[in-house]
Chains A and B, each alone.
Chain A
Amino acid sequence: MRPGILAIKRIKVNSVITILILITLLSTIQRAFYRRSTLQVVSPAVVDIDLPSDVSLKVFRVTPEPYTEDTYQLAYMIKSLRPDLILERRKLVDGPGGQVALGLSDGGRPELHTCLMDSGRAAVTNQRMMEENDQSTQADSRRGKILMLQGILLGRPLTSRPCLFVQLRLNEAIADTQASRAVGEDRLLSKAWPILDSLAPLREQELL
């Protein structure tokens, strides 16, 4: 018999089990401290796209951890005001949280919030939401490549995967009336899709 085998034979099985228990428990501890939630601004130099002069753009890289304050704040930010939104003839998913948040920023400027993530993989925490998103993007031949406007379920974390949080804002302030908001939001939405589309390389660079 080879010396190596002899050495293994001398190790008691209980010691092996103890080592396996330790490894399993250490892995459990690692899972317990699984990813801290972060919201980092992506440098404007990296976001190198042509923007219309009346629009400003901020992109954040989000690394959420379930059940943290940051994730919940983000979830509320993305809560949709218009769940049946139609954007460039793409009907966004009518999930409970919706897909795109539209509202007025402090300065009275229309603002759009959305989250871009990988649509080709199991990207979201909520499986049902993912399936709905899949259905909504089935008609698109570039599926897997397109940007995904990702929603959340209220009271649930946004996602367990990193995503790009996009904040698009009209620079021009508007009056807070229903009519002017509708006009402002339509203007913003007409610009939103091409901008989100042109963020695809950034999404791939940052997330994939």
Chain B
Amino acid sequence: MNKYTGIKFINVRGQLILFLRRLKRDTIVSWLALLGAAVIFHFSLLFSTSAPLDFLVFVAVLWAVAWLPVEDLIPSLAYKHGVSRIFFVSFVWVAFVARGLAVQSYADPYIPLFPLISAILLILFLGGFPLLPRFRESLYILSLVPVLAWLPRLVPTQSLSHSAAFFAAFFLRTFGIDIIQDSTKLTIGSSAINVAGPCSGNEIMVQAFVVALLALIIFPMPKRWTRLPFLLLAPLLGWIVNGLRVALLAMIASIDPVSAMNDSGMFGFFHLGEGGMVFSGLGIAAYAYAYVKVIDGQLLFLQNGVGKS
């Protein structure tokens, strides 16, 4: 500690040596380091296959949220001896990581399955099958990564594009804007946009649905009958914010047709760029607000009920 400035100097080298010693002696610390290495490897796969930004962000969120229950478990964790188990799991781990080196596209099923499989392998390494139930919350959360990756493909995009165009036209007409909707095509003046499959909102809806599932796992609503309606509310909000995004794109196209033709400027930002994330964030924020309000109300109601009784 510097007596004049009060700043505590950290000896990085000393800290590193201490950490390495702990790594050598404490099995749980080294096990956590292996978990960290797995997370880094997963992100290296995502970056090297240039996964879309929204997928990257959601995967980061799911890893982070899955960590929370593990953090609570750490003090009670202990390594259970088992030579054959360690040998077998280590062999599978090496084979599993080696398979990752062959990944060429982010569409490879390996990428969404990696978090769940790696977590299961690490838990088996530490304590075998009896330890799995203790990590069930984290495993549930990590199992949302395949949902995030694969569910958008199952959503029928044609009808969704049509409904997004319908909503955008309805929304703009309420503001007195003269817009013509023909199936998935929206025309304002001489500018037209087509709501193609990728703009149908299937990804935003699935992202909202995943957030709803996450909320159900971490903060389940006390009143069970409210859980399903809230699960369905999330994709509905996703659909609405995507409709608003389409309406905005139609407006930008009418103001600046060149940016719409070249997919540049503001149009490019909301069409191909991070603008989609802004709308996804809006939908999720609205959902989180409603969820917190309702769960607060339910907890208050339960508290009052307990107080009275």
Which residue of chain B is the closest to A66 with respect to CB atoms?
Answer: B50
Q: Tell which of A96, A155, A160 touches B49, judged by Cβ atoms closer than 8 Å.
A: A160
In the complex, B45 has a CB within 8 A of chain A: yes
User: Is the pair B97, A17 in contact by a Cβ cutoff of 8 Å?
Assistant: no
Which one of A27, A94, A123 contacts B101 once the chains associate, using CB atoms below 8 Å?
Answer: A27
A27 close to B41 (CB less than 8 A): yes
B86: chain A residues within 8 A (beta carbon): 13, 16
Quick check: is A142 within 8 A (CB to CB) of the other chain?
Answer: no
Interface presence of B98 (CB below 8 A): yes
Of B52, B87, B105, B263, the contact of A122 (CB 8 Å cutoff): B105
Which B residues from 236 to 280 make CB contacts under 8 A with A? Answer: 263, 268, 271-273
Contact digits for A24-55, partner B, Cβ 8 Å, 1 yes 0 no: 11011011101000000000000000000000
Q: Which residues of chain A have C-beta atoms less than 8 A from B87's C-beta?
A: 8
Known: A25-B37, A27-B101. A5 touches B272 (CB 8 A): no
A66-B27 contact in complex given A21-B34, A130-B107, C-beta closer than 8 Å: no
Expressed in whole angstroms, the Cα–Cα distance for A28 and B40 within the complex equals 7
Distance between Cα atoms of A154 and B50 in the complex (Å): 13
Known: A16-B86, A18-B30, A27-B101. A94 touches B50 (CB 8 A): no
The reply to whether A23 and B44 contact each other, CB–CB distance below 8 Å, is no
- A residues 1-20 touching B (CB-CB < 8 Å): 5, 8-9, 13-14, 16-20
Q: Given A17-B31, A154-B268, A155-B273, verify A122-B108 contact (CB < 8 Å).
A: yes
From A32, A122, A124, A126, B48 is in contact (CB under 8 Å) with A32
Q: Counting CB contacts under 8 A, is B79 at the interface?
A: yes
Which residues of A lie under 8 Å from residue B281 when comparing CB positions? none
Judging by beta carbons under 8 Å apart, are A96 and B271 in contact? Answer: yes
Q: Which of B27, B81, B196, B273 contacts A17 (CB 8 A)?
A: B27
Chain A, interface residues (CB within 8 Å), range: 35 or more
Complex Cα distance, B45 from A160, in Å, reads 12
Across the interface, which residues of B come within 8 angstroms of A147, CB to CB?
A: none
Q: Residue B16 at the A interface, CB < 8 A? A: no
In the assembled complex, the CB of A18 is this many whole angstroms from the nearest CB of chain B, namely: 7
Given A13-B79, A67-B50, A127-B106, check contact A28 B30 (CB 8 Å).
Answer: no
How many angstroms from the CA of A116 to the CA of B232 in the assembled complex? Answer: 42
Whether A17 contacts B48 in the complex (CB less than 8 A), given A8-B87, A28-B37, comes out as: no
- Chain A 67-94 interface 0/1 with B at a Cβ cutoff of 8 Å (1 = within): 1000000000000000000000000001
Instruction: Scan A177-191; emit 1 where CB is below 8 A from any B CB, else 0.
Output: 000000000000000
20 contacts between A and B (CB under 8 A): A17-B27, A17-B33, A18-B23, A20-B34, A24-B37, A27-B101, A31-B41, A95-B196, A96-B263, A122-B107, A124-B105, A125-B106, A126-B52, A128-B197, A128-B198, A131-B153, A135-B197, A155-B272, A155-B273, A160-B106
